[in-house]
Structures are given as structure tokens and as C-alpha cells.
Amino acid sequence: GAGVSQTPSNKVTEKGKYVELRCDPISGHTALYWYRQSLGQGPEFLIYFQGTGAADDSGLPNDRFFAVRPEGSVSTLKIQRTERGDSAVYLCASSLKAGGPPDTQYFGPGTRLTVL
């Protein structure tokens, strides 16, 4: 079946602009995660959803970052007033459920964001 998909695959924007990054999880997966991976670093946790609600958003760096998952499936990560330091690959992952032994997180290919 289809894996996690993310769109766009690449996004170039100018400093100060607003961007939206989309994640389509594997069908039936109730948990969805966002990570950010800077060059030469491991993924850094941002937020995870169980269903429609954000169960843990402690990794969001500041109030310019916001994520939603209104119907418990597709999620959108929104970044306002982008800064050059936001340039990174934004990874989305989904798992069958959250709240038990670690459920395998299946990662998408990421969206490469470049802020000029």
C-alpha cells in the first residue's frame, strides 16, 4: 500500500513569507508526527497528534509554528514569518496508534524547505 506522502517535496520561499507543508499518513494510522531535520543532524521532534488532537507540541520552537489535523488524517504544518533558520527538511511520520509499546513510525520522504 501507499506510504506516507508529503507535499511539496521542495519549497523555496523568501524570508517573512508564510508556508504550509502537507502530510498524508498511511491510511488507518491514528498517530502522526512532525520532525525537523537540519543538515548533518538527526530529526528533531516538533509535535505529534493522536487523532485530531495535538498530544504533545513541546517541540514546536516558537509561536510561528503551528500544525493541524482537523479530520484525524491529513496534517498541515504552518510556518508564519519564515526565517532563514527555518531552512531544513520537515519530516512527517505516522504510526498505527500511540500509547503502547513503540509503534513503528513510518516516515515520509520529507519536504525540503529553503528560506532565502
Partner 1 sequence: QKEVEQDPGPLSVPEGAIVSLNCTYSNSAFQYFMWYRQYSRKGPELLMYTYSSGNKEDGRFTAQVDKSSKYISLFIRDSQPSDSATYLCSGGYQKVTFGTGTKLQVIP
Return residues touching partner 1 (CB under 8 A): 4, 31, 33, 40-45, 48, 55-56, 58-59, 91, 93, 98-99, 101-102, 104-110
Q: How far is the CB of 71 from partner 1 (least distance, A)?
A: 20
Nearer to partner 1, 27 or 104 (CB): 104
Nearer to partner 1, 16 or 21 (CB): 21
Q: How far is the CB of 91 from partner 1 (least distance, A)?
A: 6
Q: How far is the CB of 78 from partner 1 (least distance, A)?
A: 20
Q: How far is the CB of 6 from partner 1 (least distance, A)?
A: 9
Give the Cα-Cα-Cα angle 102, 68, 78 (nearest 5 degrees).
110
| Three-state DSSP string of the chain | CCCCEEECCEEEECCCCCEEEEEECCCCCCEEEEEEECCCCCCEEEEEEECCEEEECCCCCCCCEEEECCCCCCEEEEECCCCHHHCEEEEEEEECCCCCCCCCCEECCCEEEEEC
Nearer to partner 1, 79 or 108 (CB): 108
Nearer to partner 1, 21 or 91 (CB): 91
